[in-house]
Amino acid sequence: MTPQSEAELADIIAAAKGPMSIRGGGTRGSSGEGDPLSVAGLSGVTLYEPGALTLVVQAGTPVEEVKKILAGENQRLAFEPMDHRGLLGTQGVPTMGGVFAANTSGPRRIQSGAARDFLLGVRFVDGRGDVLSNGGRVMKNVTGYDLVKLMAGAYGTLGVLSELSLKVLPMAEACGTVAVDVADLATAVAAMSVALGSPYDVTGAAYDPDAGTVFIRVEGFETSVAYRGEALLQALAKFGEARMTLGEGAALWEGIRDVAAFHDKPGDVWRISVKPSDAIVLAQTLGATALQFDWGGGLIWALMEEGTDLRARMNVPGHATLVRASAQTRGAIARFQPEPAPLAAISAGLRAQFDPRAILSPGLMG
Partner 1 sequence: MEMPSPNPAILACKSRLVERLAKVLPADAVIEDEAETRAYECDALTAYKCPPLLAVLPRSTQEVSDVLRICHEEGVPVVPRGAGTSLAGGALPTADCVILGVARMNDVLETDYANRTIRVQTGRTNLSVSGAVEEEDFFYAPDPSSQLACAIAGNIAMNSGGAHCLKYGVTTNNLMGVTMVMMDGTVVEIGGAHLDAGGLDLLGVICGSEGQLGVVTEATLRILRKPEGARPVLIGYDSNEVAGACVSDIIKAGVLPVAIEFMDRPCIEACEAFAKAGYPMCEALLIIEVEGSEAEIDHQLRLITDIARSHNPVELREATDSDEAARIWLGRKSAFGAMGQINDYMCLDGTIPVTSLPHVLRRIGEMSKEFGLAVANVFHAGDGNMHPLILFDANKPGDLETCEAFGAEILKLCVEVGGCLTGEHGVGIEKRDLMLHQYRPADIEAQLRVKDVFDPKWLLNPAKVFPLSTTQSRRAPAMAAE
Residues 94-153 touching partner 1, rule: CB under 8 A, are 103, 105, 109-110, 113-114, 116-117, 126, 130-134, 136-150, 152-153
Q: Where are the alpha helices (DSSP H) in the chain?
A: 6-15, 63-71, 85-88, 96-101, 109-112, 115-118, 147-151, 185-196, 222-236, 250-257, 279-286, 327-332, 341-354
CB 204 within 8 A of CB 143: no
Which of the stretches 18-26, 82-90, 205-213, 347-355 binds partner 1 when contact is defined by CB under 8 A?
347-355
> Residue 16: CB partners within 8 Å, gap ≥ 6?
35, 129, 357, 359
> Residue 240: CB partners within 8 Å, gap ≥ 6?
180, 181, 182, 183, 187, 191, 214
CB 104 within 8 A of CB 115: yes
Which of 69, 171, 186, 233 binds partner 1 (CB under 8 A)? It is 171
Measured from the CB of residue 107, what is the shortest distance to partner 1 in angstroms?
A: 12
Three-class DSSP category at 165: strand
Which of 1, 7, 14, 52 binds partner 1 (CB under 8 A)? It is 52
Which of 2, 45, 53, 209 binds partner 1 (CB under 8 A)? It is 53
Count of residues touching partner 1 (by CB under 8 A): 85
Q: Which of residues 185-244 bind partner 1 (CB under 8 A)?
A: 190, 193, 196-199, 201, 220-221, 223-224, 227
Q: Which of residues 320-339 bind partner 1 (CB under 8 A)?
A: 320-321, 336-337, 339
> Which residue, 90 or 193, has its beta carbon nearer to partner 1?
193
Which of the stretches 36-44, 59-67, 209-217, 346-354 binds partner 1 when contact is defined by CB under 8 A?
346-354
Measured from the CB of residue 177, what is the shortest distance to partner 1 in angstroms?
A: 19
Does residue 11 touch partner 1 according to CB under 8 A?
A: no
CB 299 within 8 A of CB 273: yes
CA distance 48 to 121: 14
CA distance 116 to 174: 26
Measured from the CB of residue 275, what is the shortest distance to partner 1 in angstroms?
A: 4
Measured from the CB of residue 110, what is the shortest distance to partner 1 in angstroms?
A: 8
